Amino acid sequence: MRKEFVTRYEGNPILTKADVPYKVETVHNAGVVKHNGQYIMLFRSHLDTGRSIIGKAVSDDGFNFTVDPEPFMVPAKEGEFAEYEAFGLEDPRINPLEGAYYITYSAYSKHGVRIGLAKTTDFINIERIAFITQADYRNTVLFPEKINGRYVKLDRPHSDISPWAIWIAFSPDLRHWGDSKVIMKPVTYHWDEMKIGPGAPPIKTDKGWLNVYHGVFRPWTAVSIASACVCTNWTTRR
């Protein structure tokens, strides 16, 4: 008899737009981390304009969340970030690294979508660091430690050319990235044959790095998650 590895919580959904104290149309694509004994959720919400912002909710038990009275992140109104965040912020990933939390998020504008990097230590104050991809990239996650003295990230070009594959890249300072290469592609006739992308920061195991990823099957009717082991040769699919 097959044992269930993951089961859905019978009390779902644990958060809906009715729980948000400001007007939004959706609640989805959240990242969660445990910080100072509490569960912190960063979630994406659509406004009635169709553009997205990032909200924050807090829980003591991981099931019952209270949303902050104001959004956690909205598009920058001035400075170098404003032009590239003008159409909204989407799909935050929470990346614990070196005693802080780095938030990777999709920033949309007339120039397309690229990945922004922000930093917080308390989920109250947040500092925007840099844009760490060109257009068009999404789904970026950071490894929780350096590898061979460099920071490492996984991401996914938002393009039909790759096609929709997971790439790896390296950085000396979290701002400048290079040595990139594709490490995993969709598989024809597979459940994720259309596109794949990193879903959460990789988890270190005694066999290598475990990467939980998401995939889409044509024609965008099925979405699921799976895992891959990012090892010495970088990819072994599961």
What is the total count of domains within the chain?
Answer: 2
Identify the domain containing residue 18 by its residue range. 1-134
Q: Distance of CA 41 to CAs 15, 60, 140, Å?
A: 10, 11, 17
pLDDT score of 101: 98
Q: Let me know whether 172 and 196 are in one domain.
A: yes
| 217-223 mean pLDDT | 62
Q: Let me know whether 193 and 115 are in one domain.
A: no
pLDDT score of 192: 87
Q: Let me know whether 7 and 99 are in one domain.
A: yes
Domain boundary among 100, 134, 168: 134
180 and 167 Cβ atoms separated by less than 8 Å: yes
Q: Let me know whether 83 and 145 are in one domain.
A: no
User: Tokens 């004994």 correspond to what residue?
Assistant: 37
Q: Let me know whether 114 and 7 are in one domain.
A: yes
Q: Let me know whether 91 and 146 are in one domain.
A: no
Global pTM value: 0.90
pLDDT score of 232: 43
Phi, psi of 141 (to 5 degrees): -130, 150
- Cα separation, 49 vs 76, in Å, equals 17
Q: Let me know whether 34 and 101 are in one domain.
A: yes
Q: Let me know whether 14 and 80 are in one domain.
A: yes
Write the pLDDT tens digit of every residue in 69-110. Answer: 999 999 999 999 999 999 999 999 999 999 999 999 999 999
Residue 90: which CATH number? 2.115.10.20
Q: Let me know whether 3 and 75 are in one domain.
A: yes
* DSSP secondary structure string for all residues of the chain: -PPPS----TT--S--GGG-SS--S--EEEEEEEETTEEEEEEEEE-TTS-EEEEEEEESSSSSEEE-SS-SB---SSSTTHHHHTTEEEEEEEEEETTEEEEEEEEEETTEEEEEEEEESSSSS-EEEEE-S-SSEEEEEE-SS-BTTBEEEEEEESSTTTTS-EEEEEESSSSS-EEEEEEE---TTSTT-SEEEE-S--EEETTEEEEEEEEEETTTTEEEEEEEEE-TTS-EE-
Write the pLDDT tens digit of every residue in 130-165. Answer: 999 999 999 999 999 999 999 999 999 987 777 889
| 188-210 mean pLDDT | 92
State both tokens at 163: 């096609």
Domain boundary among 100, 116, 134: 134
| 5-15 mean pLDDT | 90
| 49-64 mean pLDDT | 97
- Strand 195-198, strand 65-67: pairing: unpaired
Which segment of 44-48, 117-121, 209-213 scores lowest on mean pLDDT?
A: 209-213
Q: Let me know whether 166 and 56 are in one domain.
A: no
Distance from the Cα of residue 167 to its chain's centroid: 14
Verify cis geometry, omega within 30 degrees of 0, for the bond prior to 201.
Answer: no
Domain boundary among 134, 151, 178: 134
Q: Let me know whether 121 and 233 are in one domain.
A: no
Given pLDDT bands bounded at 50, 70 and 90, which one contains residue 191? confident
Nearest 5 degrees, angle CA 4-CA 6-CA 9? 115
Q: What's the mean per-residue pLDDT of the chain?
A: 91
Q: Let me know whether 5 and 75 are in one domain.
A: yes
pLDDT score of 148: 97
CA-closest candidate to residue 33, choices 62, 7, 53, 8: 62
| 56-74 mean pLDDT | 98
pLDDT score of 3: 73
Please give the single-letter amino acid code of residue 165: A
